[in-house]
């Protein structure tokens, strides 16, 4: 009876050990499969034409007193803003960006200290122009209305978010094409995607001449194409 019990115990141990061995073998094989990976990086690019421009323009006036300098500036700015609104620029697309009042100094002679000889007032607004065909005319009108300051033009794409999604789709298509190429080269089949990470987003601006603005004497303005690009890192399993 005791011998039978020992035999049963040994059988149970062997069965358990066999299960562990089989299970370990399966895990080892699974580890090999998990090691069969391919990592690729790819990018998707969309070249677009900007459809929005942002301009900084304004008025600088000088006078002997602060009150006079402010009054002169105010009169011209009121005319400028009202004129821009009359030209079709929406109120929401006109925003004051800076207002400064600074003294003007005259260098003293023979070592004497400088003295205040007047004051300068600068008032600037940021305009958003949503019709680039009218951009040159709007700049012309701003100058005609009294603007004597201009600081840069920035071009933007109004639906950039949707276009970035298109770039993401292209990036994934390019990643799969690369991964398929590598899989074929090593005699494997491309498996499912295991990991995706976005490496970043950037745009590259190239200048080009937009369609002629209405009016032959409009201020010449160059807009730019923007290359919206997204890069991705993708890991595929190999079968």
Q: What is the pTM of this model?
A: 0.61
Instruction: Show which of 112, 141, 156 is a domain's final residue.
Output: 156
56 shares its domain with 130: yes
Looking at the structure of the chain, the number of domains it has is 2
> Alpha-carbon distance 154 to 209, whole Å?
15
68 shares its domain with 146: yes
**Which CATH number is 129's domain given?**
3.30.70.2970
If you search the block for the tokens 């369609």, which residue do you land on?
A: 211
175 shares its domain with 89: no
| Residue 3 within a domain | no
pLDDT tens-digit series, residues 21-76: 233 333 444 455 557 999 999 999 999 889 999 999 999 999 999 999 999 999 99
Helix-strand-coil percent breakdown of the chain, rounded to 5? 40, 40, 20
pLDDT of residue 42: 96
| Residue 195 within a domain | yes
Tell me the torsion sign for CA atoms 150, 151, 155, 158: negative
Phi and psi at 165, nearest 5°, equal -65, -40
152 shares its domain with 164: no
59 shares its domain with 89: yes
For 3, the 3-state DSSP assignment is helix
| The length of the chain, given as a count of residues | 239
141 shares its domain with 185: no
pLDDT tens-digit series, residues 75-124: 999 999 999 999 889 999 999 999 999 999 988 777 778 889 999 999 99
pLDDT of residue 118: 95
For 26, the 3-state DSSP assignment is helix
> Alpha-carbon distance 152 to 126, whole Å?
10
Q: Is residue 224 within 8 Å of 47, Cβ to Cβ?
A: no
Instruction: Show which of 141, 156, 171 is a domain's final residue.
Output: 156
Look up the domain containing 43 and give its range: 34-49+160-238
Enumerate helices (H) and strands (E) in the chain, giving the number of each: 4, 7
The answer for residues whose C-beta is within 8 angstroms of residue 233's C-beta and 6 or more apart is: 39, 40, 41, 195, 196, 197, 198, 199
151 shares its domain with 166: no
| Residue 19 within a domain | no
| Residue 86 within a domain | yes
Question: 153, exposed or middle or buried, with CB in 10 Å at 0-12, 13-18, 19+?
Answer: middle
pLDDT of residue 32: 52
| Residue 112 within a domain | yes
**Which CATH number is 205's domain given?**
3.30.110.170
41 shares its domain with 73: no
Instruction: Show which of 88, 122, 156 is a domain's final residue.
Output: 156
By percentage, how much of the chain surpasses pLDDT 70? 76
143 shares its domain with 169: no
| Residue 25 within a domain | no
63 shares its domain with 152: yes
147 shares its domain with 168: no
| Residue 119 within a domain | yes
45 shares its domain with 56: no
| Residue 122 within a domain | yes
Residue 187 zone, left/alpha/beta (φ > 0; ψ -120 to 50; rest): left
């Amino acid at each position: 009876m005791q011998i039978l019990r020992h035999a049963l115990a040994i059988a149970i141990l062997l069965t358990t050990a066999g299960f562990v061995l089989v299970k370990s073998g399966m895990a080892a094989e699974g580890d090999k499969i998990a090691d069969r990976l391919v990592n690729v990086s790819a990018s998707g690019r969309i070249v677009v034409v900007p459809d929005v421009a942002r301009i900084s323009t304004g008025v600088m006036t000088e006078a002997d007193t602060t009150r006079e300098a402010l009054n002169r500036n105010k009169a011209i700015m009121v005319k400028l803003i009202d004129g821009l609104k009359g030209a079709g620029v929406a109120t929401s697309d006109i925003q004051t960006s800076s207002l400064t009042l600074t003294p003007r100094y005259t260098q003293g002679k023979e070592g004497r200290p400088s003295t205040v000889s007047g004051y300068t007032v600068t008032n600037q607004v940021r305009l958003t122009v949503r019709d680039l065909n009218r951009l040159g005319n709007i700049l012309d009108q701003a100058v005609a209305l009294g603007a004597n300051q201009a600081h840069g033009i920035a071009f933007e794409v109004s639906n950039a978010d949707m276009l970035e999604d298109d770039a993401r789709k292209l990036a994934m298509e390019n990643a799969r094409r690369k991964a398929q190429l590598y899989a074929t080269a090593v005699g494997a089949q491309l498996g499912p995607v295991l990991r995706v990470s976005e490496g970043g987003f950037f745009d590259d601006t190239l200048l080009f001449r937009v369609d002629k603005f209405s009016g032959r004497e409009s201020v010449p303005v160059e807009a730019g194409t923007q290359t919206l690009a997204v890069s991705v890192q993708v890991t595929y399993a190999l079968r």
